[in-house]
Structure 1
Amino acid sequence: MDVFVCFSHSLVTIPPHCWTNTAHRHGVKVLGTFITEWDEGKATCNEMLATKESAQMYAERLAELATSLGFDGWLINIENEIDKEQVPNLMEFVSHLTKVLHLSTPGSLVIWYDSVTVHGHLKWQDHLNEKNKPFFDLCDGIFMNYTWKESYPKLSAEVAGGRKYDVYMGIDVFGRGSFGGGQWTVNTALDLLKRNNVSAAIFAPGWVYETAQPPNFHIAQNKWWSLVEKSWGVVQTYPQVLPFYSDFNQGFGYHVSLEGRQLSDAPWYNISCQSLQPLLEFKEDNTDIIQVNFDAREASYNGGGNIVFKGRLEGDLYFTARLFKPLLHLSSSPITVSYSVKSDETSKLGLLLGFSSPSHQTKSILVAPQEPTPRLDHMFLKCLVTSEQTVSEWTVHEASLVMDGHTLTEISAFCYKTENSTKTSEYVALLGHISIKEHAQLQQNLVSLPPASSWVIEAHSIELVPGDSGSKILKVKLEWRQTQLEDSVLPVYNVYAESVKSTDVLRSRKVLEKPRSERVFLGVSHVPAYYVSELVVDSDVKGVSFVVQPCGEDGSWSKLDVSPKHLVEREGLS
C-alpha cells in the first residue's frame, strides 16, 4: 500500500491523527476526502464555484487543513451535476489546490475521482478518456469508478501515456459491479491491472471485518492481503534506517507491559502506538506444522502484543516464517541484534537474517540461542549463538555481527526444537520484540535519553471534584519540555502517578483495580502533553506526583527513578 484514503460521506473528512501517525511510520501517505453529493452537494458547489476567487479560497482552506494537521492531500469526489458555466471554476479549484498543496507540503497528492465530466454531467466513465482527462491533467492522479470492463485498464494506460501509474482503477472489495467480483477473488482484477501497468485503488478492504470472515479476523485478514501480495508482491520495504525496533503492537490490547512486567490489565485502543508491523505470510499448507499470528491476549514484552508461534515439530524438523522485508545498507560498524522470547525449554526461536552482498549474492546468518542439530548448512552461512538474559519470564537474546557493504533484506523467525526433545512435539513460543542497532547507536543510547534535571513539567487546568466515599477526582493537563532543547520531542512518553503517602491509597479507574505499588501507570503519549481525566484520590492523600518516562525510537526508556516528576499538592485545591 502506498496511499491510504480516509473516506466518509461528510463534506470534509479529516484523517484521525492516529491513522496518519501509523501510516507515516510505515511509509504510507494519507489523504482526506472532499465530497459533494445530491442536492446538498449541488448547493455547496454553487457557492464554492460562484467565482474563480471563491474556488481558490476553498482550495486554500483545504490545503491549510492538510498542511496544519500533517496529512498528505485530498481525494476530490464531486458526485453531483455541475452547471456547465461553473466547470472552468471547478477546474480552477482542482488546479489551485494541487499547486498550493505542493508548495506547502512537498510530496502531497490531489486525486480526482471519476464522477462528474468536463461537461458538468454526473456520469462515471470507468476509464480515462476525453471527458475526465482534463481533470487528471490538473492533479496527481485519478481514481476510476469500480464498474470498469476488462479492456478499460489497457485503454486508460494508452490515454495516460507517461502517467499511466497515476491511473488508479477502482476495485470494490464487496464486489458490487467490480471486475472479478472482489472478495476472495480480488486478485483477478489485480492481476489484470498489473499486466496493463496501471495502479489499483482498493475500496473497502474492511469487508473482511465487516462480514466477519472465518475463522477469525487476524487469520482472514492475513489470507485476504496475501492475495494482494501474490498479484503485486511486497511494495513497501521497511525498515530502511537504523535503529530498528518493533514490539508488533497493533495499537490496541488488553494489557500494557514494559520489559515483561504488566503495568495495566485494562483494555485500550490507541493506533498511534502501533509499531512497525511484520509482513506475515498466509500459508494454507502449514496447518499441521506451525501457525503464526499476532496475539494481544497472551503476555507481552513491551506494549500489548506479540507474535505467537504454535503447532508441532517432529524430530529434526524446523519452520521459518517471514517477519520483515527491510532495506538496510550496512557499514563497517557492528550491528547488535536483540529479541525477546517466552517459551518452554524445548521450543527454540531464532532470527534468520537474509543479506545481499555488494556483488548481489545472497547469504543468510542465523541468530539463535543454540545451533540446531543437525547442522543446516544449506539454510545459513553460520549460526551466531546469542547471549541470554532472563527478564520477567522472558528471555532476551542478543548477538553482534559485522556485514560491511551488505544489505539486510529479510528477517525471518526460525523455529526448532532442542536436541533429544522426544517427549513432546508440541511447539509454542511468543516473540516479544526485535531490535537492531549499530554499535555506535548502542553506546550513544546509554547517555542519549535526557536526565530528569533537563526537563520541566507543568500542570494546567487543575480540577479536584467530589468522588465517592469522601474521595476526589483529579483532572489535570500535564505538559513538559526539555530546558536546553525546546523543540526536541521523543517518540513516546509513559505517564505514571504516585501517591505521596507510603500506603496503597491511589488508584485509577482505567488501570489495575488493586495496583501492585504506589506508582500507577496512566497511559502513553506521543506528544509532550497528557490529559489526566479520572484519577481517584482518596481522602488521606496529600498530593500526587506525576512521572513522565521518556522513551527512545530504539525501544529504550529511562529508568523511572531518574525520570522527571511533578508534584500536584492537594492542599488549596479542595
Structure 2
Amino acid sequence: MPLRGTQHSPAFQDEAPFFDSLADLDAWSDKAHHTSRGVLPYHPPDDDGGSKGKLLACHDFKGGYYESPSAVTYTFNFWPLCSTFIYFSHHRVTIPPSGWTTTAHRHGTKMLGTLIFEHQESEGDCLRLLFGKLPTSKTGPAESSNDDTVPTSPHYARVLADLARERGFDGYLLNFEYHLRAGGGVGQTRALAAWIALLTAELKTKVGPHAEVIWYDSVVFTGQLRWQDRLNNYNLPFFIPSTGFFTNYTWPPTYPSLTAQYLHSLAPPIRGPKTPRSVYTGIDVWGRGSHGGGGLGCFRALEHITPAGTSTALFGQGWTWESQQDAPGWDWDAWWALERLLWLGPESDETAVVVPPAPLRKGEQECPHGPFKPLRAFFEPRTSPDPARLPFWTAFCPGVGWSWFVRGERVLQTDKGWTDVQKQSSLGDLLWPRPALRWEHGERDEALPVATPTLHFAHGWIGGNSVRVAFTLQGSDAEDAFFRCVWLPVQTLAVTPGVSYDAHVIFKADSGPTADLDIGLVPKLNSTNDTPLDVSAISTAEDLPHGWTKQSVQFTVDSNASLEDRRVSIGLVVGVAAEDPSQPLEFAVVLGQISVHACAPSPPVTIAAPRILWADFQRTPPPEAGAKTTSLGTLSWEIAATFPSVSVSTNIPSVEDPNPIWHLDTSDRWMPAFSYFNIYVHAHSPSGYVGGPEDATFIGTTGLDGKANEIHIGKEVLPKEVLDSEAREVRFYVQGVTDRGEVLAWNRCVFVDAMLR
C-alpha cells in the first residue's frame, strides 16, 4: 500500500490484526463484522512439488506485523518453493495480514495463523479453550454429578474457523508451550486432542477441504512440556486429529528417519491419509540447537531430512535481515543478495560459498557434509495456479519500493520507501540467480551471453519497479554473427491442454550505440517431447508511453498433451544485430509486466468491460473534546461491467428461434476483477474550478487492510498543496487496476467531491 506521507494511522492496516486473549476473541465474535472481500481466495497449484517433501515456512520476524507503508522491511519472495506459510507471533491468536494471505494464494500457497499458549499466564486460556465461552449468569449442573473430567466444548473451534473464513486464511498452527495440568494432565490433553478434531472439522467445513491444522511438537500426552524432536507415541495423540505435525528443531541426525519409520509402523486406521510428507521436520534458521548451525548451514539439516522423505518446516527465515541489519553499510540490496544466496545459491556455479562450521552440541559426534547447497536444491518448485482459473500477472514486485509508477509515469517518490506484500508478484522464477539462456535456431560454436538480472527500482511500468536483464555478448568472427538470437526464459506456468491463452509482455530495450535489438514474446514447452505448441501473434508491437513496448501472442498446447507437457516457459527471443560482430556487446532488456490468461470466448459471445460505477466519501465524525485524530473519512466505490451497445434487428424473430438474442459469457470468471486501486486528489480552487484527473496528485493505493472497494483517508496522505490551500472541498479520483494488469482509462474511472473542512 504505497502511500504519500509518513507516520500513517493504524486505520490503514487490518482491523483487529490479532487477539491477546480468548476473551478478546470472544469480544470480536460478539460484534457484527464483514468478510475481508479484498483477500484473494486460495487457488491450489497445478502440481504439489512431486514426491519430494514439502516446505513449510514459519514467519517470526520481529514479533510480526512489521509491514509499513512508509518504510522498507523484510518480505518473503520464494512462494513457488513453499506449500504452506505460517504467520507467527506471540499473541494468543495471530491472524495473517490480509496482504500476505492474498500473495500466498496468488502463488498457490496456503496461509496459516497461529494459536499459541506459553508461560504461566496462558494457563487459564488453555482451560477456557476447552470449557468454551464463560457465562455471566449463575449456572451449574441440574443434579449433582461425580463427573470431574475435563470437557470439550466446540465453541472456540467454531469461532476460530469463523475467523479464518472471514479473514480468508487457511488454518492454524497449534503451539501449546505450557504445562497442561487439569485432570491430572492426561484429562486435559485427551480433551484437547478431541478439540483439535473439532477444529479440523470446522475448518474443512467453513474454509474448505484444503484447510490445515498443524500441531507443534511441544506438550506430550501427560501434559508436560517435553519437546520430542520427532513423531513418537508421546505426541501421537495430537498428530492423529491434525493434518500435519511440526517437529521441534533440536533433533539429532537419526531422528528424521526414525519419524518416517514410526509413521509407517502405524496401523492404517490410525495413520489415515497421512504420509511422511505430513510431518514437517523443524529447522531453526537462527541455528538455536539446529543440526548444521542454521543460516547458510541449513543444507546440512536438509541432507538428513530429504532422504527420510519427510517435509521441512523452516523457522525464522527473516534471519537474513535481522542478523545483518546493524552491519556497517548494510542496506536492502545487501539483504537481497544474502536472501538470494540462501534460497537460490550464487550467480555462478564457480563461486565458492563460505559456510561457518557447525557447532557441535553436547554429546553430538561430528557429521561430515559437502559444500554449500541453497534451499532450492531440496524442493521441487510448484507452478502458480493455471491462468485459466486465475489470471497470471506480474510486475516483478518484491513487495517493497521507493517509487510508484502508473503506465510508466512516476507518480510517487519516497525517501524511506514502502512495504506492501499485497503488491508482491512473481519475480520471474526462471531469471534467478541467472537465467539459463540458449541459442535460438540451433546451437552455435561461441559462448552464450552472460545475463544478469537486477530489480530495477528507478524505472517501472506499473508498481514499484521492473527487472533489468543485462547481457554481455562476446565478439564473434562467424559469418552469420551479424545477427544472433538467444532465448531468455522468464516464467514457468502450468496450462491446460486444448485451452487457448493470451500472453502479453511490456518491456524496454536498451541496445546501446553499436547494436539493434529485435525482441519477441515466445512461449516454449518445458518438456523435450514433440507435443505441438501452437503460437500466433495477436497484434504487432504496440508503442506505449515513456518508451515502453507491448507484445502479445496467443498459444495453445495440444489437447492430447500429457501431464508432463503442461509446463510452459514464457520468455523472450532477443535478436542482436551488431555493426561489428567481432567486438563484444553489452545491452539490456527491461521487463515491466507479463500477463497470461485464458482467451476470451469467440464471437458472437459478448465480452464485458470493467469500469468503476460510483464513489462515495463518508466523513469521520468530529473527535471528542481533547481528542486528536488525523482521520478525515472513508472513500468507497462500486465496480461494474458494461457491454457493447445492443443492435436489435427490425425483424422480430420467431418465438421458436433457437438462437438467443444475445450471447453472454456465463463462465465462473466472466465478471472483471481488480487487483487494487490508485487514489488521486486535488483541491477545488477558491473560484470553484475543478481540473481533470491529469491535474490530480497520487496519494496511494488500496491493499493493506483486506477491504474491497474502500480506503481510509487521513491528513497524512494529502499533499502539502491541498492541506495549505484555502479550499474546503477536494476531489478524489479512483482508478482501477485489473487482475490482468490493465490500468483503466479515465473514462472508465470515477471521482467524488468531499468536504474536508
Q: Is the 8 A contact 1:15 1:30 kept in 2?
A: yes
Query: Which has the higher mean CA deviation after the structures are superposed, 336-345 or 523-532?
Result: 336-345
| Alignment partner, residue 232 of structure 1 | 379
Query: Which has the higher mean CA deviation after the structures are superposed, 156-165 or 144-153?
Result: 156-165
Mark the runs of 5 or more structure 2 residues left unpaired by the alignment.
Answer: 1-81, 132-148, 265-273, 345-373, 438-447, 476-480, 624-629, 643-670
After TM superposition, give the deviation of residue 38 of structure 1 in Å: 2.0
Alignment partners' CA distance in 2, 1:314 and 1:198: 46
Query: Which has the higher mean CA deviation after the structures are superposed, 542-551 or 210-219?
Result: 210-219
Match among 553, 560, 571 for residue 739 of structure 2 = 553
Match among 204, 209, 223 for residue 321 of structure 2 = 209
After TM superposition, give the deviation of residue 261 of structure 1 in Å: 1.5
TM-score, structure 2 normalization = 0.64
Compared CA separation, residues 290 and 490, structure 1 to 2 (3 A): closer
Alignment partners' CA distance in 1, 2:501 and 2:422: 31
Alignment partners' CA distance in 2, 1:109 and 1:442: 40
| Alignment partner, residue 328 of structure 1 | 495
Alignment partners' CA distance in 2, 1:444 and 1:10: 56
After TM superposition, give the deviation of residue 483 of structure 1 in Å: 7.1
Greater relative CO (CA pairs within 8 A, separation 6+): 2
| Alignment partner, residue 395 of structure 1 | 549
Mark the runs of 5 or more structure 1 residues left unpaired by the alignment.
Answer: 368-382, 466-472, 508-514
SS of 2:674's partner is coil
Match among 330, 339, 361 for residue 221 of structure 1 = 339
SS of 1:440's partner is coil
> Which residue type is aligned with residue 204 of structure 1?
G
Compared CA separation, residues 150 and 113, structure 1 to 2 (3 A): same
Q: Does 1:34 align with 2:115?
A: yes
After TM superposition, give the deviation of residue 170 of structure 1 in Å: 0.3
Match among 339, 353, 358 for residue 523 of structure 2 = 353
| Structure with the higher fraction of residues in strand conformation | 1
Alignment partners' CA distance in 1, 2:341 and 2:535: 28
| Alignment partner, residue 106 of structure 2 | 25
| Alignment partner, residue 311 of structure 2 | 199
> Which residue type is aligned with residue 154 of structure 2?
Q
Alignment partners' CA distance in 2, 1:334 and 1:65: 37
| Alignment partner, residue 714 of structure 2 | 533
Q: Is the 8 A contact 2:407 2:743 kept in 1?
A: no
Alignment partners' CA distance in 2, 1:384 and 1:104: 42
Q: Does 1:457 align with 2:607?
A: no
TM-score, structure 1 normalization = 0.82
Q: Does 1:176 align with 2:323?
A: no
SS of 2:714's partner is strand
| Alignment partner, residue 197 of structure 2 | 95
| Alignment partner, residue 508 of structure 2 | 341
> Which residue type is aligned with residue 228 of structure 1?
L
| Alignment partner, residue 428 of structure 1 | 588
Compared CA separation, residues 484 and 285, structure 1 to 2 (3 A): closer
| Alignment partner, residue 480 of structure 1 | 637
Q: Is the 8 A contact 2:449 2:473 kept in 1?
A: no
Q: Is the 8 A contact 1:366 1:384 kept in 2?
A: no
Match among 55, 60, 68 for residue 158 of structure 2 = 60
Note the alpha carbon deviations across 1:371-397, whole angstroms, 9 max, x for none.
xxxxxxxxxxxx999624242122223
SS of 1:480's partner is strand
After TM superposition, give the deviation of residue 139 of structure 1 in Å: 0.9
SS of 2:504's partner is strand
SS of 1:71's partner is coil
| Alignment partner, residue 188 of structure 2 | 86
Please show how residues 79-478 of structure 1 align to structure 2 within 5 Å. 79-83=177-181, 84=185, 85-106=187-208, 107-161=210-264, 162-212=274-324, 216-226=334-344, 227-241=374-388, 243-266=391-414, 267-279=417-429, 280-283=431-434, 289-295=450-456, 297-315=457-475, 322-331=489-498, 333=500, 335-344=502-511, 346=515, 348=517, 350-355=520-525, 360-361=529-530, 387-405=541-559, 407-414=566-573, 417-420=576-579, 425-440=585-600, 448-451=608-611, 455-462=613-620, 475-478=632-635
> Which residue type is aligned with residue 552 of structure 2?
E
Alignment partners' CA distance in 2, 1:46 and 1:402: 58
SS of 2:600's partner is helix
Alignment partners' CA distance in 2, 1:523 and 1:229: 35
Question: What RMSD over aligned residues (CA atoms) do the two structures have, in Å?
Answer: 3.7
> Which residue type is aligned with residue 239 of structure 2?
F
SS of 2:253's partner is coil
Count of matched residue pairs? 537
After TM superposition, give the deviation of residue 566 of structure 1 in Å: 1.5
| Alignment partner, residue 89 of structure 2 | 8
Percent identity of equivalent pairs: 27
Query: Which has the higher mean CA deviation after the structures are superposed, 404-413 or 304-313?
Result: 404-413
Alignment partners' CA distance in 2, 1:524 and 1:12: 28
